[in-house]
């Protein structure tokens, strides 16, 4: 099995942009997360760039007691989540909460 076949076997086919847009429209904002244990505060969390559900975490990038973690899409590698001494942010929640910000601006925060 080559690398590409392996990827398909693990992730399945990439979601179409129409499907991704529909899925984003159906997301509901839940209570705003207050701690790192509260999850993302949205009804559905996936990568808005390719529709993948898997997040690859960086692991803590600062020493203990501090928390700074970044989450990348396991399929396309885009930055889609992060935590900086507070609850985990997911780009989809931030997109809904701050509609005036661009995706690029939000990604810089993680």
The span from the CA of 38 to the CA of 18, in Å, is 30
For Zn ion, give the closer residue by CB, 42 or 52.
52
DSSP 83: E
User: Does position 76 bind Zn ion by CB under 5 A?
Assistant: yes
Q: Does 40 bind Zn ion (CB under 5 A)?
A: no
Residue 91 lies near Zn ion (rule: CB under 5 A): no
- Which of 73, 81, 83, 92: binder of Zn ion (CB under 5 A)? 73
75 binds Zn ion (CB under 5 A): yes
Q: Where are the beta strands (DSSP E) in 18-75?
A: 55-57, 68-73
- Tell whether residue 83 is a contact of Zn ion (CB under 5 A): no
39: left (phi over 0), alpha (psi -120 to 50) or beta: left
């Amino acid at each position: 099995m080559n690398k590409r076949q392996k990827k398909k076997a693990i992730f399945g086919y990439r979601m179409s942009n129409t499907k991704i847009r529909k899925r984003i429209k159906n997301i509901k904002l839940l209570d705003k997360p207050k701690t790192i244990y509260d999850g993302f505060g949205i009804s559905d969390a996936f990568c808005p760039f390719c529709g993948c559900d898997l997040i690859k975490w960086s692991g803590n990038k600062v020493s203990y007691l501090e928390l700074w973690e970044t989450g990348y899409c396991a399929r396309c590698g885009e930055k889609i989540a992060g935590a900086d001494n507070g609850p985990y942010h997911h780009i989809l929640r931030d997109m809904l909460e701050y509609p005036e910000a661009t995706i690029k601006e939000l990604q810089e925060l993680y």
